[in-house]
Structure 1
């Protein structure tokens, strides 16, 4: 009888282990997905610490969360855009992302040639039934960092450096200028363009000229070119002398370059947009032909929490007041 009891106990424990194992497998079901999502960068590259990097980090997060397969192809010139997009379609990817306004024409051609492919683009509208387009109200977020710059500058001189001229970068420029002027009409805003998104050395050289001319805050919307602005500002601050600042773009760039040089950032939630549309594909609910615009109201642009490190509570309260007025339509921010 004792032996029978011991045997039953052993069998019971064995069954418990087996059932526990089955439960574990059930919890992991769906962790591996057959969905494949590809991403083509613009010439700024995937490690631009800005736009492309934000999109890629979103796909990497989805890989961990949903078990999808993700891959990027880096474009070294505009000539790479169409071949890179076609490569993902040829390889049977369920969704192919074009990251950036510059890829609009290439994506339009690829979409027309491959009507069954699911395609998506950031910062451009491609009017095709198999393309989902996501754009942002950069002018609204840039207005808010312009308010910060206008109330923070000690020299009454601030500057903007764009990558290449386009409607997207123009929205950054005019929104920033309008924000500065709204709170500091006497401030001088210098607007310049680097002509490239992948030239940190040009960004550094332009920053040298602008800081030497008395600008104490620079807002670059220029991808990896803007990294050179941070490098120049960091060197100057370490050397002593008059304090200079950089306003980050796309991501919270204080996380990369530090609070010592980053006044605030105009965060553009490219990562959330990429996750949102990619999740539609995972769920089998891709909405081709749709255009989504993300502004302050949709929480698509704005300032990060880390702004509190360098921006006073008084200025942040002013920013919040303008944000509410923009959302309710009391204040209209120019876009061009």
Structure 2
């Protein structure tokens, strides 16, 4: 009987240990919400894919305010979630504070670099993907005036804008690139009304293709562009389907793959900084049945040729964040 009790005790201990080893991963979305049809939703798609493939489950949190960042991270870490992924550069400072308090928890931050031994930092070469859609904008434009509307005015979004302008100018040095940012606070990610107003203003200045890099604000930008019967360019997720035949393409940022791979690796995932560039399929442009008639074979051939040169190093796209300058306006 005693042996049986010992055996059962050992079995219970093993069950607890195996439960700890198989801790559920977690995902925290940035402001703008899980279903922003852009950045956050791309992260959700990666988590969902992992859950469907493995039958596993994961925790998720949608924040309502900036003040919740640290609380959300600590709550998930205390719950045993591992790894914990988060979308957005704004988690950077908070994660730098929280990560040392949970040395056995792995964290994944997308769009920022946090130098801690238990953190994987995933950054993307948005300038490369934006260059390609900038080329496409210039090739599609009839007015020689194209636009860019960003969300919050931060270096990361300037990086999108600068890459886009470089791509436009590579096709047409005389083209005009209009640029606006939605705001200077995190509210800029979730203001479709302001996005629509900025779009109308750019249309009034002659823009016939507008690239939106603004989170949920982009929904208003793409809608206003469709209403004005001009072309738009989506961002992060493939947004071509939102207005079939009127979204020229989308600059796809494979946030989904980054979350999926992190969840797949689990609590033992490798740490350090991962740079997801064009060569690693970290960024690119979207083609599907919704924009097939908008992109000619000639346009696609030119953009793909440039993509090959970027991958080989023959073309270097300037990264705004290296020196806070852009070589073209």
Normalised TM-score (structure 2): 0.86
2:296 aligned to which of 312, 324, 327:
312
Confirm or deny: 8 A CA contact 2:88 2:112 kept in the other structure.
Answer: yes
Query: Shift of the alpha carbon at 1:41?
Result: 1.2
- What is the CA RMSD across the aligned residues, in angstroms? 1.5
Paired position in structure 1 for 2:270: 287
1:252 aligns with 2:235: no
Paired position in structure 2 for 1:73: 61
How do 1:179-194 and structure 2 match up within 5 A?
179-194=167-182
Q: Which runs of 5+ in 1 are unaligned?
A: 1-32, 238-243
Paired position in structure 1 for 2:279: 297
2:246 aligned to which of 258, 261, 279:
261
1:229-287 alpha-carbon deviations (Å, 9 max, x no partner):
111122233xxxxxx011010111012x1322200110111101111111111xx5311
1:207-238 alpha-carbon deviations (Å, 9 max, x no partner):
1111122111110111001110111122233x
d(CA) in 1 for partners of 2:89, 2:250 = 21
Query: Shift of the alpha carbon at 1:308?
Result: 3.0
1:85 aligned to which of 68, 73, 76:
73
1:60 aligns with 2:45: no
Q: Which runs of 5+ in 2 are unaligned?
A: 1-20, 321-329
SS at match of 1:129: coil
Confirm or deny: 8 A CA contact 1:122 1:135 kept in the other structure.
Answer: yes
Query: Shift of the alpha carbon at 1:57?
Result: 1.5
Query: Shift of the alpha carbon at 1:87?
Result: 1.3
Moved over 4 A (4+): none
d(CA) in 1 for partners of 2:54, 2:193 = 39
1:25-81 alpha-carbon deviations (Å, 9 max, x no partner):
xxxxxxxx9431111111111111000011012111211111222122112222111
1:231 aligns with 2:223: yes
d(CA) in 2 for partners of 1:334, 1:65 = 38
SS at match of 2:305: helix
Paired position in structure 1 for 2:213: 221
Tell me the matched-pair count. Answer: 295
2:201 aligned to which of 205, 209, 215:
209
d(CA) in 2 for partners of 1:155, 1:35 = 55
Paired position in structure 2 for 1:155: 143
Query: Shift of the alpha carbon at 1:197?
Result: 0.5
1:146 aligns with 2:134: yes
Query: Shift of the alpha carbon at 1:199?
Result: 1.0
Normalised TM-score (structure 1): 0.85
d(CA) in 2 for partners of 1:158, 1:72 = 38
1:106 aligns with 2:98: no
